[in-house]
Chains A and B, each alone.
Chain A
Amino acid sequence: MHRREFVATLGVGGAVAIAGCGDTDDSGDAEITDETLTLTTTTSTYDTGLVDELTLAFEERFGAEVAVVNEGTGAALETGRRGDADVVMVHARSLEDEFIREGYGVNRRDLMFNDFVVVGPDDDPAGIDGTSDVTEAFRSIADFESVFVSRGDSSGTYAKERELWEVAGLEPGGEWYREAGSGMGQVLVQTDQSDGYTLADRGSFLSMRSQLSIGIRVEGPIQDGPELLANPYGIVAVNPAVHDNVAYDLALAYIGFLTSQAGQDVIESYTVDGEQLFFPRALSAEPNFEQYVPEDWTREEG
């Protein structure tokens, strides 16, 4: 956001140091100093450490500071709606589309993807291990009334889970279906302790795997699982015509950097325990034009 200098100078020597580094750069990079970009993003990108990695690279390149607020997808978009953030990085296409349709977001780009996996106990009471049909697996969990821990919040993971139940033609309910209303980490711990199943993004699960006894029962598309479990991340700038205070130029610089070869390389090479968590998706010789507008957008509508 603009006019945040007093915050930047207040006890945050880091910004000055980083801005100073930019000066010695001989490549004539664009510098947008003395400004803070407020990014709001989901817990899955934040907790895995990817966002810090991207932000460091951006700050080095542009000398601007990035304040990262991590919330669930729903809350992140809400923060954007209020104009309290300049750019939003989330993973629920339907909610992003709504955000754009309402006029709050502009210049959306596909950023990267990973996938969702269904995790559960090794003795697998619902007998879904290794199946490639996730809707069948969900039906089976419901049939056996095996414990299923749901995020039960406004996260992108929960949005995907609802979609899967809907595709499976089921309305889950009963003692076995537990809405935790917590973050992914806590839900995974709860699932582990109650020998249940849950839907998790692969990144969060991998970064916590060492402390869990549950394992992947249904793989996502990264390991040849069903495409239905794809988990694409998008990045959207907050519309400066709706909120004139947002740092739109900086937001586009951020989106530009993340979707550039340099930014995509950071995503490609980011690993936790030797495992790649996110896969770049912004660059393609044949871009998908639907990334810029809501998925079923037509010219007549606009």
Chain B
Amino acid sequence: MSQIGKSLHLAWAVWGANRRGFTNVLIVLVLCAVVYRLIPAVWFEPPLIRLIWFIPFALSLILVFSFISATVDSDEPTVLSAFPQRVFVLPINTLTLVSVHLLLAVLSVTAVYFAWGLLVLEPAGLPFAAWPLSFVLSGVICFQALIWCLSRHRLTRLIIMGTLGTVLMGLAVVLQVESAGIAGPVMGTTTFGILLGLNATACLAAGWGVRHQRRGDYWTFFGSVGLTRSLQRSSVRRRPPFSSPATAQFWYEWRRNGIVLPFAVGFATMLIITVGSVMVADEPAHILLTLAWLFASPMILAVFVGQGFAKVDFWRGDTSLPVFLAIRPVSCGTIVLTKMRVAVMATVISWTLVLGMSGIWLAFLADTSALPAWQEVLYRMYPSTSLWALLALCIGAGMLITWRYMVLPLPLGLSRRSRLYYFGILINILVVVGIVVFIAIVASRPTVVAELLRQFGWIPWVLNLLILAKVWLAVAAWRKSLALGLVDARHVVTCLATWVLGTGYIVLLFWFLW
């Protein structure tokens, strides 16, 4: 068989391994093409939420890339190379192996990019341009090269990939701001040269990395493996045993699942501050928009991270319970309560990160000249209230909402029913996106609620029925759990009290602000 024949065979294997995933991306594309045309134009107008309509587009690009990348980035515990051995033993040279995967990733992402632009975004009147694709493709090539070259260094890989992504997105935003519009001329020779150089380096690094992996070599950061081992040995010796099974489970949950939200929030905060700095430098009034995104980021990320957090293991593709955990003498109630406690810690740390980084940004880096005007507006709206107290109350509500979205999908994630779980994810995300869109529309057109109620008088009744159904479902679930001995009465009282206090706090705060 010729090299071209082998390449086609390899490409077919990648497609075959992810046929279902590619088909799902195609289905979402077609669905969005139909739905976006049916949605009234007013829903696309508020600038605060225009970004939301691009989320399925961005997710499609990420998914397509991850399908191709996942085909070679094996997660088997003993396989340390990024390529599984079965690919290495194919009678095909390394150059072809690397080229096929890179080319496939580039072509697939390009196809999805233009399909979305021409079939969904442009017909819906949303802005679409070809130039950001060059940044996306650079990201694809660099990320793939990093996955291959740093296969033994997963944490380092994560940090570098996060930083690179932030830089590329920041650069793209700078170009957009400079060009004063998405359709304007943006790609200068310097930028083009930087991207071209980056891509060429990444391709060479990818080839080098895979060639070394294929012959069993791996490299370390100046003996970092030995250093890590020494540190690990000394740190482990100092650690006393866990005081109780609950403490051990908390540690496990935190290390495996809890840490994801603070990491994600940290990266998002850096990205928002980078982009926000450029925007605020251009127009000081953009500081409010940047702050809004900063404070919304833990809540928005909790919606997505919470879906993975709900599973026993965030990083496992399925919802099954690993045998290692299943044979521990732990009750189901303990697993759930530990997850809820870990979610509290993840929420508190995430918010601390946001507040700390925002504070540093405002104090030392940002142009805050537009803030006093907004302070005046707030003083006029709430004359008898301290703005600091109001801010503290809002942050408290934000923390509650973040925690709620972290624990909301727990029943689905722990049900061990994959189809139910993925269906639940879809519904949860659609509901959240719907709520955000609605709030943004109301913010830009306050009369829309009255108009809707006038036109569809049955809406309040349906909402009431939905609330009643939810309460009934919760009561039934708790009763069943009590009957099966999964939880005890103390757990029920604790959870009920938490729910009443949390919900009461949010409702009262919204009533006060309204």
Q: Do these two chains really belong together in a complex?
A: no
Q: Which residues of A contact B (CB under 8 A)?
A: none
The chain B residues found within 8 Å of chain A, CB to CB, are none
